[in-house]
Amino acid sequence: MSPRFRLPLPPQENRAKQSAYANIGLGLLLGGVLAAPAFFFVANSVPLTALALSAVLLGTIALFLDRSLPQVPPRAAQLLLESGLANLSGLLEETGVIAQAVYLPSTLTEGQPRALIPLSSHGQRPTVSQINSQRLIVEFGPHPDDVGLLVSTPGGGALSLLDEHIGSTSAELESALTKLLVGAFDIASTVQVNQENGLVTVRVGGIRLSTGILWVHRILGTPVASVAAAVVAEGRKAPVVIESEARKKDVVTVRLAVTR
Amino acid sequence: MRIYNRYLLVLAAAFTLSTTLLAAYGQDRLDAYFTAYVIEYLVVTLLFVYLDPRTRRLLDGLGYVLFGGFVVIVLFKVLEILRRS
C-alpha cells in the first residue's frame, strides 16, 4: 500500500506510540515497588522508603493519565478538522459568500448551537429570530433575502464537552473557555474575558494551534475564535458575530459583538 | 498534553520537597510521609481545576483511595491512644 493511502493506525497503537505516560508510569511503579522493601528492610531508611512510596504514587497517577488520553490522536484530529474546514471553505468560496457568520445559541436553533451564514448581507448585521429548521439552507427573517446557511462549527461541537450550564458573566465565560481551550483541548495556557457595552474581548494566551489561511476563517473565524464565539453566544443566549481577530506571537485576541 | 506534564511535575516537586523537609527534620515515621503525600495530592489535584472531566473522574477515584488510607492511619492512631489510656 502506498504511503498516500495508508490508513491511520488503530487508536490503541497510536496511543502507545504517542504517550510516554504509560512507560513513565510503569517505570516509576515497578521501581517504587521493588525499591520500597529494599530501603525499608535492608537500608533501614524511612525517608528513602517514603521516596519509593511517592514513586509508586506518581507511577499510578501517570498510568491514570495515560488511560484518560483522547482516543483520537491530536494529529488525526487536526487532519480531520483541516479537511472538514477546507471542504466548507471551498463551498463558501464557490458560492461567493462574504458575510460574517452569526453564532447562534442552542435556544435559537432548537438543538446544537450553530452558525448562520447570510447569503446576502447588504453590509448590515442580520437580525436573527428563532430558526426552526435543521436544514443547511434556512430562512431567518421576514424578507425574501433573509436566507442563509446554517452550519455546524468547531465551537458548537466543543460545547458538548462542557458538563455544566454556561453563565453570562465574564468570570463564567472565562471559566467555560478555560475548561475547553486549556483543559479539554490543551491548545492554550490562559484565557481572559472582558465585557463592555455588548462587546466581548477574549484574550487567549499560549496558543499552540497553527491554522492555515482559509476562506472559511474570514466567515467563521479560526477554530479558537469559533470556540470563543460559540461559548459567548451560549452564555449570553444571544447571537454573536466575530468583529475582529488578531494574533500577536502566541496571544490571540478575539473581539465579539453580541447582537441583541 | 502540557497540562498533564505540568500536573505531574508539580506533584513530583511537591513530593520531593516534603520528603526532603521531613527527612531534614528527622521524621522517621512512614505514616507522616504518607499523610503529607495525600494532602499534597488532594491540594494539587484541586488546584488543577481545568483538567479534562474524564481525567478528573479517574484522579478523584484515586483521591478517595488515598483518603481511605489516611483515614486508616488516623484510626490506628486513635486506637493506639485509647489503648494507652
A190 beta partners: A205
Closest residue, chain B, to A54 (C-alpha): B15
pLDDT score of A1 more than 50:
no
**A62, A179, A208: residue with CB nearest B50:** A179
Provide, as residue numbers in chain B, all residues whose Cβ is less than 8 Å from the Cβ of A53.
30, 33-34, 37
d(CA A253, CA A248): 8
Question: Which one of A81-85, A225-229, B52-56 scores highest in mean pLDDT?
Answer: A225-229
pLDDT (0 to 100) of residue A5? 43
pLDDT score of A93 more than 70:
yes
pLDDT (mean) for A216-236: 90
Residue A77 vs residue B43, higher pLDDT: B43
CA separation, residue A144 to residues A119, A138, A147, A198 (Å): 11, 11, 7, 29
**CB atoms A47 and B19 under 8 Å:** yes
pLDDT (0 to 100) of residue A13? 46
**CB atoms A183 and B19 under 8 Å:** no
pLDDT (mean) for B24-47: 93
Phi, psi for B80 (deg, rounded to 5): -65, -45
**CB atoms A46 and B1 under 8 Å:** no
Q: What is the CA radius of gyration of chain B?
A: 15
pLDDT (0 to 100) of residue B1? 59
CA atoms within 13 A on the CB side of A240: 35
DSSP string, A55-101: HHHHHHHHHHHHHTS-SS-HHHHHHHHHHHHHHHHHHHHHHT--SPP
Provide, as residue numbers in chain B, all residues whose Cβ is less than 8 Å from the Cβ of A58.
8, 11-12, 15
| B 19-58 residues with CB < 8 A to A | 19, 22-23, 27-30, 33-34, 37, 41, 50-55, 58
Residue-averaged pLDDT of chain A = 83
pLDDT score of B27 more than 70:
yes
pTM above 0.90, yes or no: no
What's the ipTM? 0.91
pLDDT (0 to 100) of residue A123? 64
d(CA A132, CA A206): 39
Provide, as residue numbers in chain B, all residues whose Cβ is less than 8 Å from the Cβ of A163.
53
pLDDT (0 to 100) of residue A25? 92
Q: Is B83 exposed, middle or buried (0-12, 13-18, 19+ CB in 10 A)?
A: exposed
CA distance A103 to chain B (A): 25
Place of cell 468547531: A154
The candidate with the shortest Cα–Cα distance to A155, out of A106, A227, A258, A65, is A227
Q: How confident is the model at residue A106 (pLDDT cuts 50, 70, 90)?
A: confident
d(CA B63, CA B39): 10
Residue A89 vs residue A202, higher pLDDT: A202
CA separation, residue A237 to residues A106, A123, A213, A259 (Å): 8, 24, 30, 11
pLDDT (0 to 100) of residue A89? 83
pLDDT score of A15 more than 60:
no
Lowest mean pLDDT: which of A27-41, A143-157, A188-202? A143-157
Q: What is the pLDDT of residues A134-192, one digit of tens each?
A: 788 888 777 777 888 888 888 888 888 887 888 889 999 999 999 888 888 888 888 99
pLDDT (mean) for B66-71: 93
**CB atoms A163 and B53 under 8 Å:** yes
**CB atoms B62 and A53 under 8 Å:** no
CA distance A107 to chain B (A): 25
